Amino acid sequence: MELDPVIHAPVRLQIVALLAAAEEAEFGFVRDQVGVSDSVLSKHASALETAGYVKIRKGYVGKRPRTWLKLSDQGRRAYLAHVAALQAIVARSGLTLTPE
């Protein structure tokens, strides 16, 4: 198994992990949870969309424009494979992670 270079960037990994736990998330919520600016989130979300990992939907709530992000099926598979690759790397070290 190999690490996915699209997901491996820390901000992208955080975005994908957050979206893996939700059906869909509003742009502002993702921005706040990941702790980045609008422009940084937009850049990373676009890269994930280009890779086919995230679907971006635009619409309105009342008269206010909103953007939602959703992990695609391809993105979910890529995320799970990336996590498995990370776990395999850690397992090779022989260390056991235990909560303190």
| 3: helix, strand or coil | coil
Q: Which amino acid is at 56?
A: I
Domains of the chain (ranges; CATH) run: 5-91 (1.10.10.10)
Percent of the chain with pLDDT over 90: 85
Nearest to 69 by CA among 8, 10, 18: 18
CA distance 61 to 32: 19
Indicate if the pLDDT at residue 40 is higher than 80. Answer: yes
pLDDT of residue 99: 66
| 51: helix, strand or coil | coil
Indicate if the pLDDT at residue 66 is higher than 70. Answer: yes
pLDDT of residue 100: 67
pLDDT of residue 10: 96
pLDDT of residue 93: 84
Counting DSSP H helices and E strands in the chain, the numbers are 5, 3
